[in-house]
Structure 1
């Protein structure tokens, strides 16, 4: 049984969109296999989803009817209570695993890829709301950049969050670090009161921003950026850009969340600074 606010059993915390229900049936449940019939797997989930809506279900006459009956029960469950829907999904997978039928069951990061649009994610033994992992906001539009640049930034931010939600921690940080490097190129040639940015790539651009803004916030932020960039790039650090030492542990989800949130904070600051500096240069 999943652990969550007991009040959610009586007061629904939300519903599950039909598209999410369909994705979970097709991409999660229908991909489970084992040394048992597919109908047996469908019947197992039927019982769980029937329980989630406070009813029982009999055995379907065929495999095709079992799938149709399951889809109906899942739709009703999702339409009534997202928490109980998620609990039924978790319970069905636990049942299959306990059957000792050599089952191939997808990992939770894969399952959550399809479940998180409902506002929830399964992190056994807990059901958590995705609001607990809400990323730091980044401006959707930066006036000093053109439409193509703004679209590229938003797409990369989305891709990083999707990778993080899918359990691909290293790839999520790689994507956000790539975005940091990309955004830094917007400062090429920018004029400041003390001179212009002449660097062509990240480390040189950041060094120029620091030298041209001594004693200011941008000076300190540039130093912090250089430190985190160096750590994440090093094989014995984050191992993101130049490979990772084979003895290094895999990056955890909490570490990835930290690096993504830090990067989002720096990105937001740099975008505001770009708008300010470009405005001052005219």
Structure 2
């Protein structure tokens, strides 16, 4: 599963149509579950639904909060069509360590990637039979002062657990034609170092024919092991690759921002991303 908190919901058509003038008026806690019976929730909420402190991010009925050394996520959301259901539960993210790493994605630092906890344990307790489990997790964030589609045409990102930590790849094509290509290796206690980039390797296109590529040892062909999320401009999947001779499976994302810029896409997104302007905490 994945959970993303937004202030200024970058993939919301409502935020785009508003002129992006007030990020706090377009907030969201997006929840997606994968596998049989998977659900997707992404409600764009107004400023009245937002409450924040240094350790708490609350959006309407859901919240993220630090409880000592754990990130606790309480969710109470309604999934989008065609499978409309309420999803309630709690996820605990227990980092093995927190990093101090920040990676500027543009020369002027208008976009920054912040991998807070590249490796963590998660505990999931959702109010459905069989939706209680523990496993491998991570926690990161992206910050930006401009729309993604203003500065980027395409990007891929991947995070792969290794025996001693995790390795992340960030590849992007900026609209000015320049390229971002970065690999960072994280240790179990949070230490980070830039590492040599393996060659790019092509993956098959997604269901919406989004181009995909990742990094792998020379001659190895990565493969998708689980389809997670497919949209006309975005895909997320579990992918098996090979790094330093070892096969590893991690989460991979590809984002086609040329497609996302299309005005014809926004009404389609509005079906999956409903708008709720007002909220009362009672």
Counting strand residues as a fraction of each chain, which structure ranks higher? 2
- Please, what TM-score do these two structures have when normalized by structure 1? 0.25
- Please, what TM-score do these two structures have when normalized by structure 2? 0.25
Counting helix residues as a fraction of each chain, which structure ranks higher? 1
